Every structure is written in C-alpha cells, then in structure tokens.
Amino acid sequence: MLNTEQIRKDFPILSRTVYGKPLVYLDNAATTQKPVCVVDKITEGYYHTNANVHRGVHFLSQEATDAHEAARRKVQTFIHAASPAEIIFTRGTTEAINLVASSFGGAFFEDGDEVILSEMEHHANIVPWQLLQHRRKIKLRVIPVLENGELDMEAYRSLFNERTRFVSVCHMSNVLGTVNPVKELVGIAHRHQVPVLIDGAQSVPHLPVDVQSLDADFYVFSAHKIYGPTGIGVLYGKEKWLGQMPPYQGGGEMIAHVSFEHTTYNELPYKFEAGTPDYIGTTALAEALGYVSAAGLSRIAEHEQFLLRYATEQLLAIDGLRIYGTAREKGAVISFNVKDIHHYDMGMLLDKLGVAVRTGHHCAQPLMRRFGIEGTVRASFALYNTQEEIDVFVAALKRVVAMF
C-alpha cells in the first residue's frame, strides 16, 4: 500500500488553496506536480554543478557531464533499454515523434507509402506525420476505436499491405484511459516487417515499461508527466534504426568534424542531440524516475486502480453521466459528460470549488469526432491523490450538475 499521507508531504503545492478551498488536483494527465527532491535537484544543479557538458576539461564540466550521462543510464534501466546509446534526450514526447517522423520518414518513406495511426492519438502523434506529407506523399491509415474505447484489432490487421511502412500508436490514451495491447500491436506489425513507435506519454507514469520485452522500435515519453521537469523528454530507439537515420537538427554536440565542404556526425546518441542539452533537466528527470521507483510502480498502479474504480462507481451514480472509455485495460483517467451540460461550464464551476480538472478536446479532435462530441471533462489521478479527494470532487460535481 502506498503511504499517500507521507507522499503528499513531498509535494508542497498540494497543500495550497484556490479560491479559499483546498486544492484537489485532478489534472495529472496534462502534467504532474513535482516532489521536493526533483525541485531540489534543479536548484542544486544550478547552485553547485552548473557547467556546459561534454568537451569541457574543467572540474565542473566533468561533474555536470557525469550527472547528465548517469541520467541517461537511469532512463535506460527504467525502461529496460539495451544500451544508453539508444536513449536520446528531447524536449518531450512531441519533439521525439517529430524527430522520428522527419528523420525516419524523410529517409525511408517513398510516395505512396502508408503509416498506420489510431483514432485515439494525441495531435502530437498525428500532425508530425501530416507535416511529413509535405515532403513525401504518404497515406495515413487509421485504426478505428470501438465503442468501449478499445482499438479494433481486426481492422488493424486488415490495414497492412505491401505499402505499409510504419505504425505509430499510443500505449495509453490520454482521453479514454485505454491501455492498448502494444505487445500484440508490435508483434502483428513485425510479422509484416513494419517498425512501430509507441507514444508512452501517458503510460510511463503508471505502468512498468520494458521496451525490449515489448520489442518496440521506438518508445517516447515526457518527463513532466512523470513528476519531472517540463521541457525534457525521451526518445528510445533501437540502435539498428537510429544508426541508419539521418540527424534531425544540426549544430553543436551532433557533429564529429565540420568543414564547409563536408561534415560528419557524432556517434549515438549525440547524433540526435544538437545544441546544448538540458543537462539540469535530465538529472531532474533521473531524480523523478528514482522517486517513482522508490514508491514502486506496482504499488502506484494498485493505488491508482483503486482510485479509478472508486471514482467510476461514484460518478456513474450521477444521473445522466456518461463515461467515454470503458476498456478492460484502463489507466487512471476518466473522461465524461453529464447530459447536455457544456464540459467547459462544469470545469469552470468545479474550479471555483477547488477541483482542478481538464475540459475540452484534450488534443484529440479526431477521437472527439468519433464519439460525436466536442469535448469532455477529464479527471486524471496520480500517486498522491486520495479517496477523500474523490469524495470532494464527486460532491462538487453533484453541486455543479444541480445548478443546471
């Protein structure tokens, strides 16, 4: 069992008030709050070890480089990658997907090739592929989402043909909470010799991830959704792919030799890390991963699943409330609407009662279209949320609904 009382002490922001009410923070799928140890790591980095990494001969630069590279190894072990060379630091999930679409797609796709996405993708896993369409006339094929929020696996199988070059799907939906059978998705694609990118933005904070066991070709996530800082994220890629892919951006760090006639590139992972990296951010990310490991991913999952079940039960008791996403495998996210009350109005009124939820399309407009809606209210839970907070949330929602 997680000791949430103790855990909450690690997150000072949770004890603040909004509009004179205790804050109930249920917007964790957008970003999580940060524990003291992560914020301290950032402060300590700037106060004690700040120096630009790599190439520096002096003491501080060496210390900063060691911490930065230790962070890379921490990420490697956290997601069970085979080598630190397969861990590329990016600004986040979005940049990681853009990198793969641009570099892999630009190098290996030809006009008429096809990429399979799903109907539940975040815009970050749709638009980079559309941008690529300006360079290659690729076709996007879409796996439909069933009424319960699961992927239509039969339809997925039928999308493959001789022009299929890539599959890019999320591990867990930020709207429906659906945890996709990614190992099966990868297995099917590999039988067609098609590589797969898994968008792990929502899964990494909630589920143990083993990229080798999943046999993922690429796996991406953002630090800020797993109690780490903003502006840093990870692209995992199999060395066999990264080695063949051209650089995404040019500049310092990613070069071996530069002349006006010819430039050669650095080895992995630096080939994909142009410019000064966010070395303070990487060490803070490693700290966050350490925090999660110490709490225990299985304990976190157990706690969040309890909150999910409890909140679902309580919400369904509200007349006219519909939950979008009832998949058998589901993470701690609940999207809902109540009758024809506008999601925005519910969100705004909940806010006045101290409850922070997200409203809108959640950067998943095609999914909204699938369900014939413009948006939902979304409550999403993290390791520090409590049963009492859900009671406050549900009571507040009942008050809000009664106003209409």
Nearer CB in complex with ligand PLP: 175/346: 175
Separation between Cα atoms, residue 389 and residue 377, nearest integer Å? 17
The SS3 call for residue 139 is strand
Nearer CB in complex with ligand PLP: 103/174: 174
Residue 349: partners with Cβ closer than 8 Å, 6 or more residues away: 399, 400, 403
170 is catalytic: no
Question: What does the binding site for ligand PLP look like in residue numbers (CB under 6 A)?
Answer: 92-94, 122, 124-125, 170, 174, 199, 201-202, 222
Closest CA to 120 of 316, 314, 343, 330: 330
Nearer CB in complex with ligand PLP: 71/170: 170
Instruction: Select which of 255, 318, 363, 401 is catalytic.
Output: 363
The SS3 call for residue 353 is coil
Closest approach, Cβ 262 to ligand PLP, in A, equals: 34
Closest approach, Cβ 94 to ligand PLP, in A, equals: 3
| H or E segment to which residue 344 belongs | helix 343-352
Q: Quick check: bond before 195 cis, omega within 30?
A: no
Closest approach, Cβ 57 to ligand PLP, in A, equals: 35
Residue 9, amino acid: K
Closest approach, Cβ 123 to ligand PLP, in A, equals: 8
Nearer CB in complex with ligand PLP: 199/304: 199
Nearer CB in complex with ligand PLP: 93/335: 93
Inter-CA distances, 32 with 8, 27, 63, 277, 311, Å: 13, 7, 29, 23, 19
CB 321 within 8 A of CB 338: yes
Closest approach, Cβ 291 to ligand PLP, in A, equals: 19
CB 252 within 8 A of CB 232: no
Residue positions annotated with a catalytic role? 363
